[in-house]
Amino acid sequence: MYMKKCRTSLFFAAAALCVFAGYLAAAPADFVERVEISGNVTVKTKKITKEIAVRAGDIFSEEVIRGDVKRIYDMEKFENVSVDISTGASGTVIRFDVQEKPRLKKFKFVGNKEVSSGMLLEKITLSGGDYFAVSDVMNEIRAIQDLYREEGFSKVAVSHFIGEPDNKGKSTVTFYIEEGKKILISGINLPGVKSYSVKKIKSLMELKKKQIFNPEKLDADIAKIKEFYKNRGYARFEISAPYISYSEDGAFAQLTIFVYERGKFRLGEVTFEGAVLKDSSKFADFMKPAKFKKDKVYSRKNEEQFTASINALYADDGYLKLLIVPEYSYDVGNVNILYKVHEGEQIRINSIYIEGARRTKEFVIRREIHVDENDPFKLKEVRESQRRIFNLGFFSDVQIIPTDTHIPDKMDLTFKVQEQQTGMLSVGAGYSSVDRLVGTMQISETNFRGMGQKLSLMWEFGARRKNYNLSFTEPYFFGKNLSFNASIYDIERVKEYVSSSTVTDKYREHKRGGSICFGKRFKDIYSANVTYSYESLKLFDTDDIYMLGQKAIADSRGITSSVRTSVQRDSRDYFLDPTTGSLYKFSEDTAMGIFGGQNFFHRERLQISYFFPIVWKLVFVSNFELGAVSGYGSTPDVPVYERFYVGGGESIRGYDYRGEIGPAEGGRFMNVNNFELKFPLVRENNMTILQWAFFFDFGGTWLERRDVEWAYGTTDNNFKRGWGMGIRFKIPAFPVRLDWAKGLDHVKGESETQWYFTIGDIFW
């Protein structure tokens, strides 16, 4: 019996050992034992390892490996990347086999006589030491050909040869150039032009008689002529391919372009065939905004706007392969259009990729993407995700790249980002009319550790201002859609009063405090915040004239312990430089006796801003702000340092921050109105880098509502006006403003003009 029990126990023990041994043998394969890099010659292994995410000890993931392959390709140094996965002694072994692109040593040019090698090198983007592919060389050939055509050599031919690499792995690329002859235009003929003068049609063309002949410009000119006629009712208009006759010596070209006008038409009947998923009767709703109306003169531009609206309607539901084929029929003076609609199938998102992110963690970008894999490829939602990524402020460009897959109804979605500088270390000095000479040291990072966090440390020092400020923001607290901000500060500042003839120091103010804020976002454009602030304040060195009378300001101390609640609706397209949308913001501050608070008041503020695109890239901005503050309890009269002051670069430009608008001791009611017209001077990657602005501001502050005088003037209770102009330029992470402003309602003796150099938009 005993032996039987022993045999049974041994059997189960052996079985358990077998199961455990099997687990030990199988489980490690789920983990990465080591990562190897092979095939690299000039690129150091450490550089490649730094780019990839997989590490020894990680859980094996095919998705991570696929992302790593893309990241290696993104280094733009390799022609081919393959992955070998094998089982090692204690886990999975991953080996990335890479094949490097050739490296450029230098360029040589053979055969160029009329165009110097220096001019050619200016057009070329590659430089010595760069890795390149054959496609890169072909791009350089096209750049060389474009330069020659601009110079009049329309028959230029360019070939290339890539030499053997030297002992450093670098190759010389030689371009062989056959320039041909420079060709000028001897004349342009336009037979068939009847409804307009030949001079008018020629004015549409960039090419002119006695100018250099450029075939690409000729193609563009033909397109301009066609567009001109099609947008003016000539629905059956046709234009021939150009006939080019050359002189005997090949130095001149005569251009002949036949024009067939074929009459002017109005829009007749518009019908649809094949629309099942959408009610085609509702397509007519798009005709009025597009100015595409029956009995109106036909315009191809208006027709394209109309069909684009239908395409957008389908694309917003994931029907990206919609095909609208028009069939035109003509009767007396009318063009009738039958649109055959091929809806295709709804496209779903197969995989979502991120490209171009070097420093920024991928999860920081992905949490701004509001579409998931296997979702319908709704273009509106995809573009909203693009906007949200752009509004992070970490990228100078964000592109949407849909890619076909082997699955007919699925497409891959790639967000390709271009990172920009987000950190700043600055040491300098500045001068303002309020604070005089101020030295500054600042460290700020809006993408701290690549995790989307914001960190700022600032120290300002001067005779009239000292400031220490430390701030930290986590936009996704504990990974939730909840923001967190904490800040501490210590500010000492001289407050002044500006009279008609003198500027006098009123008192010194020393603030110490901090705040903690939590915020929640809703439905992309709504947010709510709760902020607790604690501040200890001391007023001292008060000028004698302010110790007496109704405007008394005495040396004092106080503690303000307050809670602010705010709600916001923000539909701006890009918060650093909005071109459309609006901003609604309301806040309520309540100072109470909690944690030793000695001041009791409540303050309400309302801000409404609108951004209107006008024409081209012109943007008109209107901003309205209203505020009120009232004391209660033991401090029914609101302390001067909690009242409203307007003026300066952040509100009504053209006036000093204090003393020139409203009561000298501040107001309990406030109104600010700003109007601004902005237009771009320099743009890159569809972003405005430098822009000019004209503005007009007006507003004021008042002790009581009954004090408001509804007129412009020079008294404390009048509205004050200012106007001016300025430059806005965007440096990485934030915009900078330089404004000149003139106040229109100054009293005698005050300076009428002001200069302001400020960071950030006035309408934040």
Give the CATH number for residue 85: 3.10.20.310
Q: What is the pLDDT of residue 128?
A: 85
Q: Buried b / exposed e across 729-761, counting CB within 10 Å, b at 16+?
A: ebeebebebebebbbbbbeeebeeebebebeeb
pLDDT of 1 higher than 50: no
Is 215 within 8 Å of 202 (Cβ atoms)? no
Domain boundary among the residues 115, 143, 178 is at 178
Q: What are phi and psi of 462, to 5 degrees?
A: -175, 175
What is the spatial distance between Cα 514 and Cα 337, in angstroms, rounded to a whole number? 67
The answer to whether residues 247 and 192 belong to one domain is yes
321's CB contacts (< 8 A; 6+ apart) are 344, 345, 347
The answer to whether residues 716 and 636 belong to one domain is yes
Q: What is the pLDDT of residue 268?
A: 94
Is 116 within the bounds of a domain?
A: yes
Q: Taking residues 183-207, report their average pLDDT.
A: 94
Q: What is the pLDDT of residue 13?
A: 39
Tokens of 623: 């901003």
Is 424 within the bounds of a domain?
A: no
- The band of 10, judged by pLDDT with boundaries at 50, 70 and 90, is very low
pLDDT of 714 higher than 80: yes
Is 8 within the bounds of a domain?
A: yes
Q: What is the pLDDT of residues 574-597, one digit of tens each?
A: 777 788 899 999 999 999 988 888
Q: What is the pLDDT of residue 437?
A: 57
Is 377 within the bounds of a domain?
A: yes
What is the torsional sign of CA 290, 291, 295, 296?
negative
Is 453 within the bounds of a domain?
A: no
Which of 427, 368, 425, 412 lies closest to 394 in space, CA to CA? Answer: 368
Is 456 within the bounds of a domain?
A: no
Q: Beginning with the edge strand found earlier in the chain, give each strand of the sheet holding 323-331 in spatial order.
A: 266-273, 334-342, 323-331
Mean pLDDT, all residues of the chain: 85
Q: Buried b / exposed e across 173-188, counting CB within 10 Å, b at 16+?
A: bebebebeebbebbeb
The answer to whether residues 624 and 652 belong to one domain is yes
Is 450 within the bounds of a domain?
A: no
Domain membership of residue 306 as a residue range = 266-342
The answer to whether residues 232 and 314 belong to one domain is no
Q: What are phi and psi of 761, to 5 degrees?
A: -85, 145
The answer to whether residues 681 and 536 belong to one domain is yes
pTM of the model: 0.66
The H-or-E segment that residue 140 falls in is helix 134-150
The answer to whether residues 149 and 193 belong to one domain is no
What is the spatial distance between Cα 115 and Cα 656, in angstroms, rounded to a whole number? 58
Domain boundary among the residues 289, 311, 342 is at 342
pLDDT of 503 higher than 70: no
- The band of 155, judged by pLDDT with boundaries at 50, 70 and 90, is confident
What is the spatial distance between Cα 280 and Cα 272, in angstroms, rounded to a whole number? 7
- The band of 179, judged by pLDDT with boundaries at 50, 70 and 90, is confident
Q: What is the pLDDT of residue 25?
A: 40
Q: What type of residue is 528?
A: A
Is 668 within the bounds of a domain?
A: yes
The answer to whether residues 94 and 239 belong to one domain is no
Domain boundary among the residues 307, 342, 377 is at 342
The answer to whether residues 540 and 595 belong to one domain is yes
The answer to whether residues 548 and 522 belong to one domain is yes
- The band of 91, judged by pLDDT with boundaries at 50, 70 and 90, is confident
The answer to whether residues 643 and 738 belong to one domain is yes
What is the spatial distance between Cα 257 and Cα 268, in angstroms, rounded to a whole number? 30
The answer to whether residues 314 and 239 belong to one domain is no
What is the spatial distance between Cα 66 and Cα 81, in angstroms, rounded to a whole number? 11
Q: What is the pLDDT of residue 682?
A: 80
pLDDT of 481 higher than 90: no
In terms of residues, how long is the chain? 764
Q: What is the pLDDT of residue 761?
A: 63
Structural domains counted in the chain: 7
Task: Count the Cβ atoms, other than its own, within 10 Å of residue 210.
Answer: 9
Q: Percent of the chain at pLDDT above 90?
A: 45
The answer to whether residues 233 and 331 belong to one domain is no
